[in-house]
Amino acid sequence: MTRTVYVNGEYLPETEATVSIFDRGFLMADGVYEVTSVLDGKLIDFEGHAVRLERSLNELEMPAACSKEELLEIHRELVKRNEIVEGLVYLQITRGSDGDRDFVFPDPETTKPTIVLFTQNKPGLADNPAAKKGAKIISIEDIRWGRRDIKTVQLLYPSMGKMMAKKAGADDAWLIEDGYVTEGTSNNAYFVKNGKIVTRPLSNDILHGITRKAVLRMAEEAQMEVEERLFTIDEAKEADEAFTTSASAFVMPVVEIDGVALGDGTPGPIAKRLREIYLDESLKAAI
């Protein structure tokens, strides 16, 4: 099926949607993005994604391409037109194109941002068999830039990390900087020891996950103990269980780190419970 996508104010068939070759997203990775999941035809935590988008744009002094209300409308329209029941909405805003290549930012008065949205149909996203099996991860060095709190489209290293994991027979990689785990290639990282959930605190070193925020709140509401602190990969390897969070995979149990099985090598009870709670609560609040 040819998708309907959104580009700079227009809904178009994906085959007819175009962006300039001079677009700074293409030439400089000068753009930000958001991924919002859709369950039951509704958007999960749209508000959280919209707030983080605004923050990313502000940090990069990029103008907003449209209002939050318009964004919501576009998301909903795309979900409707593409008949998405379970899937994702991808949104990207770049600094646009002033018709040439230049390191200096173009004048925002004369160069409009580029805004693109498209849907990805993912039936079975909630009931994902991968979550029942759990993920195997490897650890690799974190060589990304120092503003990982801004959700930019500079995803080459995360892509390389996924490829390294694949080559090693694993599903994903966790990134290590100065001896401590930062996060996963496209998710936030956690381990559980003696019932306590440990995850790295927020800073410029990691993306401030929208799912992370919701899951930590739900964990506390469920009387689970949460500690936000730096942790090493060795601590995670000795943990009872581990998991990741992201808008596209929700809560994903981790069953193996660098070849070491966690617990009995199957998804742990806390990860499974948090996944259930997250799916349940988010669906209730979906719009």
Residues in the site for ligand PDD, rule: CB under 6 A? 35, 183, 186-188, 207, 209-212, 245-248
Tokens of 161: 């990390």
CB closer to ligand PDD, 68 vs 112: 68
The residue among 171 and 183 lying less far from ligand PDD, judged by its C-beta, is 183
Map 4-17 to HEC letters.
EEEECCEEEEHHHC
- Please provide the distance, in angstroms rounded to a whole number, between the alpha carbons at the two ends of the chain: 25
How is residue 22 annotated by DSSP?
A: T
Q: How far is the CB of 108 from ligand PDD (least distance, A)?
A: 26
R_g of the chain, CA atoms, integer Å: 19
Q: Please report where in the chains the tokens 């175009």 appear, as a residue.
A: 18
Which of 219-236 are b and which e, b meaning 16 or more Cβ less than 10 Å from the residue's Cβ? beeeebeeeeebbebeeb
| Spatial distance between the Cα atoms of 286 and 251, rounded to a whole number of angstroms | 17
Cβ-based nearer residue to ligand PDD, 24 or 212? 212
Least distance to ligand PDD, CB of residue 150, Å: 11
Give the active site residue among 136, 151, 162, 272: 151
Using alpha carbons, select from 229, 228, 232, 269 the residue that is nearest to residue 251: 269
Q: How far is the CB of 268 from ligand PDD (least distance, A)?
A: 20
- By C-alpha distance, which of 216, 245, 209 is closest to 51? 209
CB 37 → ligand PDD: shortest distance, Å? 8
Query: Which is nearer to ligand PDD, 82 or 187 (by Cβ)?
Result: 187
Question: Minimum distance between the CB of residue 138 and ligand PDD, rounded to whole angstroms?
Answer: 16
Catalytic residue check, 196 = no
Smaller CB separation from ligand PDD, 264 or 276: 276
Catalytic residues: 151
